Structure 1
Amino acid sequence: MRAFICGLKGLTLDPDERAFLRDAAPWGVILFRRNVESREQVARLTAELRAALGRRAPVLVDQEGGRVQRLNTPHWRAYPSAARFEAVGADATQAERLAWLGARLMAHDLREVGIDVDCLPVLDAPAEGSHAIISDRAYSRDPARAARLGRAAAEGLMAGGVAPVMKHIPGHGRARADSHLELPVVDASRAELEAVDFPPFTANADLPMAMSAHVVYTAIDPSAPGTQSKTVVNEIIRGLIGFDGLLMTDDLSMKALTGNFRERAERAIAAGCDMVLHCNGDLAEAAPVAEGAPVLAGKALERAEKALACVRDVAPFDVAAGVAELEKAFVAFA
């Protein structure tokens, strides 16, 4: 088993993908809209990929609600974006209850089809003038509120037997570029970062997993994006923020990063990331990522095993009552 997560091309596994999963042995697989057609199809796919791997490997997805929802209508409910919880909540307690409830319902949807890791909550605090790539995917511009709402969502997922992945540590909210397309450079002072960007992650540092940001923070390390920076990983994420869970990269195929795919993986692992992520399902890219990822062992293996501990038990939950409560709060919810 190697320290990487890969994507798939379509709705079923083809022979090349079966062979790749068997030989490369990724820790887990991440699904996207191209892999999703119906409940029955996704359930078959998750069973199929685990059979190919020969173990109950974690299956991840980005199911945030709003514009980032891989399992969507007409087969699944449409969920509110993160920002709407702050907007609709009559007070902080209600907003947090609704954030918990939305995540708990999403966890039910995911577990039903064999998905047990959700890349949520988004704990970035958007700044004035930042790129729209985050915007309403974040819970609040107020770091304290973002921390509490994100915590509520993470607790909702875990209550439903789904492991959360907080992102994008140590913060993507000030980025003025989309890291899918180019490398964002943040010139804020360290004091500004410590006051606004880092606190939502610090308050949730006990969560099991986090996804790194492909962002350069010039006040911390002007030479490398956070994903590939020893200073960002060790001094900020592990040190100042205090996160000791499983640290995975954001997608290595994003254009924020340079170098060939093996180099991208090796740089992230050398910086201190536990796990590398490659999403687009292109095996010509995924193969060198696998080569650059080490066998999962030592502290990284301990973190990976601990991260999945919360996916085993599901607390009792009345789904119909939960849907009714969320619908009542969000008139546009359907």
Structure 2
Amino acid sequence: MASQGSASRAFITGLSGPTISPLERAFLREAQPWGLIIFKRNISDPSQVADLARDFRDAVGWEAPILVDQEGGRVQRLGPPHWPAYPPGAVFSAIYDRSPASGLAAARMGAHLIAADLRALGIDVDCLPLADVPVSEADPIIGDRAYGTEPGKVAALAGAVAEGLLAGGVLPVLKHLPGHGRARADSHKELPVVDTDGATLERTDFAAFRPLKDLPLGMTAHVVFSAIDAHAPATTSVTMVREVIRGFIGFTGLLMSDDVSMGALSGTIAERSQAALAAGCDVVLHCNGDLTEMSEVAGVAPKLTGIAATRAARALSMRSQGEAFDVAEARRIFNAMVA
């Protein structure tokens, strides 16, 4: 099996269920997505998930990345009875307020434990950490998923989580660039518009991402920042990607869109995908497993080349088997820390 996806196209796909159907297998072989993202509909038990990971990689012919949203709290695709429940980001925020060192240690250890769970299944990318900085009037879609409301603390805890994942051999995905914390709507359902002035955004929302600019992977926010680009959300805004995500924040990693099937975006799936790529996203993320939509994305996603391919290769070069780790002892310590 090839070590790199030299034939890969610039998108990450979902699948409809816990196994790959014959039609999906043919699609994967032909379309060559760069990666796979899995959801609860794709999960039943550990052996099934491991089989799905192997089958996907067999279909595309290389050790392609496999992603999951495993944050803890409300966003945890793998959960009891087969996998532990993990706390949301707010728990680490509270520990940090009592003792910054303890908060950072708990965040890192929790992420290392999550990585151990994922690596055992063949999953090597976690869509974590968040560096979103919520405000009191925002929609609760971020809420307790966040690591606090102060940019410095959010960045520190997010950095600790990224360290823990990498130590466990799993790549982190920084989200949601350049910030979903002020959104007054859930972008899964509708398009949020943030009217805060640019100077305030730079001091708060955007500032939390800057210390994390060298993480290997990042995900955009389907949020309009009217002070910078009143017409397009960050995902499809050339200005937001160039001037804020790559510019002010300085993000250097592979940039993926958030899910292009979400309600925040408009147009056909093909049009949304084209707009995200034209804005500067390196790859398009499509999650719902609808084969018709998957084919639309594949139809407009180019081969992964140039700077996008370089960023992808850099990210994958950071995959590892993980550090030696006594999982049972670490879980005992971690449970005591977050109790």
CA distance in 2: counterparts of 1:78 and 1:47, whole angstroms: 25
**Partner of 1:287 in structure 2?**
295
Residue in structure 1 matching 2:10, options 3, 23, 40: 3
**Partner of 1:152 in structure 2?**
160
Are positions 1:227 and 2:235 aligned together? yes
For 1:294, the aligned partner's letter is: P
Gaps spanning 5+ residues in structure 2: where? 1-7
1:133-282 aligned at under 5 Å gives the runs 133-282=141-290
For 2:87, the aligned partner's letter is: P
Residues paired across the two proteins, number: 331
**Partner of 1:329 in structure 2?**
337
For 2:81, the aligned partner's letter is: P
Gaps spanning 5+ residues in structure 1: where? none
For 2:107, the aligned partner's letter is: A
Question: Deviation per CA, 1:260-302, whole angstroms, max 9, x where unpaired?
Answer: 1111111111111100000000011111111121110000000
Instruction: Report the CA distance between 1:63 and its aligned residue.
Output: 0.3
Structure 1 residue runs of 4 or more that deviate by more than 4 Å after TM superposition: none
Instruction: Report the CA distance between 1:12 and its aligned residue.
Output: 0.5
Are positions 1:66 and 2:73 aligned together? yes
Instruction: Report the CA distance between 1:313 and its aligned residue.
Output: 3.5
Question: Deviation per CA, 1:110-163, whole angstroms, max 9, x where unpaired?
Answer: 000000000000110001110000001111111100000000000000000000
Instruction: Report the CA distance between 1:176 and its aligned residue.
Output: 0.1
**Partner of 1:316 in structure 2?**
324
**Partner of 2:306 in structure 1?**
298
What CA RMSD, in Å, does the superposition of the two structures yield over aligned residues? 0.7
* Percent of aligned positions that are identical: 55
For 1:41, the aligned partner's letter is: Q
Residue in structure 1 matching 2:39, options 32, 35, 46: 32
1:76-115 aligned at under 5 Å gives the runs 76-89=83-96, 90-115=98-123
CA distance in 2: counterparts of 1:17 and 1:310, whole angstroms: 29
CA distance in 2: counterparts of 1:258 and 1:103, whole angstroms: 35
CA distance in 2: counterparts of 1:131 and 1:261, whole angstroms: 25
Instruction: Report the CA distance between 1:88 and its aligned residue.
Output: 2.9
Question: Deviation per CA, 1:71-128, whole angstroms, max 9, x where unpaired?
Answer: 1000000001011111134301100000000000000000000000000001100011
**Partner of 2:4 in structure 1?**
none
CA distance in 2: counterparts of 1:109 and 1:68, whole angstroms: 15
Task: Normalising by structure 1, report the TM-score.
Answer: 0.98
1:203 is paired with a residue whose SS is helix
For 1:31, the aligned partner's letter is: I
State which drifts further: 146-155 or 78-87: 78-87
Task: Normalising by structure 2, report the TM-score.
Answer: 0.97
**Partner of 1:43 in structure 2?**
50
Question: Deviation per CA, 1:7-66, whole angstroms, max 9, x where unpaired?
Answer: 011111110110110111000000001111111110011001111111111000000000
Instruction: Report the CA distance between 1:317 and its aligned residue.
Output: 0.9
